[in-house]
Amino acid sequence: MSGARLVRDQGVTAPGGFRAVGVAAGIKASGAADMALVFNEGPDLTAAGVVTRNQVKAAPVLWTQQVLTTGRLRAVVLNSGGANACTGPPGFADAHATAEAVADALSQWGTETGAVEVAVCSTGLIGDRLPMPQVLAGVTHLVQEMAGGLVGGEDAARAIMTTDTVPKQVALHHSPESGRNWTVGAMAKGAGMLAPSLATMLCVITTDAVADAAALHRALTAAAAATFDRLDVDGCCSTNDTVLLLASGASEIAPDQDELDAAVLAVCDDLCAQLQADAEGVTKRVTVAVTGADSDAEALFTARLIARDNLVKTALFGSDPNWGRVLAAVGMAPFPIDPDRVTVSFNGSTVFAAGLPDPGARSVDLSGADVEVRVDLARGTGTAAIRTTDLSHGYVDENSAYSS
């Protein structure tokens, strides 16, 4: 993408037409920031979204799916400190009431808004009702702060963190020197249940490009399939994953679909790298690349088998080039594999080929933080790659003491 510049010190407020803010509403017992608002000043209010494939969907996901059917969003309200999942009809009423409160506050501030224009995202422990007095007071606080002129993209990114250790945001300034200056910005959280279909991942992407909802939908679904969908930390899939893309049209520039696709993809790809690097307990950033499959789908399936194999993941935590575990994972594919034609390499060094290990296979150095596992199946031309992490003591610690 020539002429495009990616920067990580900006996020959802980098594109024209957006404000954002984060506050501590008292949902988290720690007193840390726990609510955020992203507001689209327009002139356009087009939007698209993708949500978790999990059949157990949190109340805010059910709400957001409904409002997304209009292809139009004025604002996104987000909270950490509670997932509002598995909370039944009362939980759905809470999500609805939150959207209503945002719409009311924005309307009082002077921007006539309906609840149907407000998406809601939540993250945190499954199964508890949100403390609605705090949430509703938080909404008032958010809109007051925003009305005061705050453009707090990073504050918003911080307010949605759970076990994340750093906020994640990025902006792509598209061809600023060409005179066609338009921008995509984004923020995300997610450090644990990064999974086949997204993560406990909340992500809001903004752009000042002119684009209708269909164009946004195409760009977002393609980007998510190539990025978030191929980040797989533990194979677990959250009840709350939501990725939203909002366009303000403030740049008055309408990129063609390919330009829009490329820009959204670049932003999502960078966020994925940030999410992977901050995954729970991660000590290794691992890429599993599979080539030579009958199809890209079979390559992807094989890459996931390897990326989810706890014996592979623990070996990588120990910097152990235990390639036999990679082969054993490949051998569980539901389509034919010829072990004698499979090639396995670690960080570019072939460790197994033509049915035999390389003499130096046990001494490949995996002590660095980045590991590439590459497998060629010698069957066809299908390829795919998955980003994953090792399985560490830190992962066990963070996940064995979460709700208590």
Task: Examine the residue annotation and report whether 227 is marked as an active-site residue of this protein.
Answer: no
- Alpha carbon distance 43, 251 (integer Å): 10
Other beta carbons less than 10 A from residue 252's beta carbon: 11
Per-residue mark of binding to its own copies, 128-147 (x: CB under 8 A)? x-------------------
Instruction: Tokens for 160, please give them.
Output: 């949605």
- Alpha carbon distance 342, 60 (integer Å): 45
Q: Does 242 bind its own copies (CB under 8 A)?
A: no
Q: Does 126 bind its own copies (CB under 8 A)?
A: yes
The answer to whether 399 is a known ligand-binding residue is yes
- Alpha carbon distance 46, 213 (integer Å): 5
Q: Of the candidates 98, 134, 322, 388, which one interacts with its own copies according to CB under 8 A?
A: 322
Shortest distance, position 314 Cβ to its own copies, whole Å: 4
Q: Does 331 bind its own copies (CB under 8 A)?
A: yes
Secondary structure, 3-state, 13-42: CCCCCEEEEEECCCCCCCCCCCEEEEEECC
Residues contacting residue 169 through CB under 8 Å, at least 6 positions apart: 8, 9, 10, 11, 12, 153, 154, 157, 185, 186, 187, 188
Partners of 123 in beta bridges: 82
Q: Does 368 bind its own copies (CB under 8 A)?
A: no
The C-alpha angle 251, 76, 45, rounded to 5 degrees, equals 35
Q: Does 93 bind its own copies (CB under 8 A)?
A: no
| Binding residues among 375-394 for its own copies as defined by CB under 8 A | 391-393
Q: Does 66 bind its own copies (CB under 8 A)?
A: no
Shortest distance, position 128 Cβ to its own copies, whole Å: 8
Collapse the DSSP code of 263 into the 3-class scheme (helix H, G, I; strand E, B; otherwise coil) and give the result.
Answer: helix
- Alpha carbon distance 403, 399 (integer Å): 9
Q: Does 3 bind its own copies (CB under 8 A)?
A: no
The answer to whether 313 is a known ligand-binding residue is no
Q: Does 400 bind its own copies (CB under 8 A)?
A: yes
Q: Does 365 bind its own copies (CB under 8 A)?
A: no
Query: What are the residues binding its own copies (CB under 8 A)?
Result: 53-57, 83, 85-90, 125-128, 192-193, 234-239, 308-311, 314-315, 317-325, 327-333, 336-337, 339-340, 352, 354-357, 361-362, 391-393, 395-396, 399-404
Please enumerate, by residue number, every residue annotated as part of a binding site for substrate: 162, 189, 200, 280, 399, 404
Q: Which residues are catalytic?
A: 200
Please enumerate, by residue number, every residue annotated as part of a binding site: 162, 189, 200, 280, 399, 404
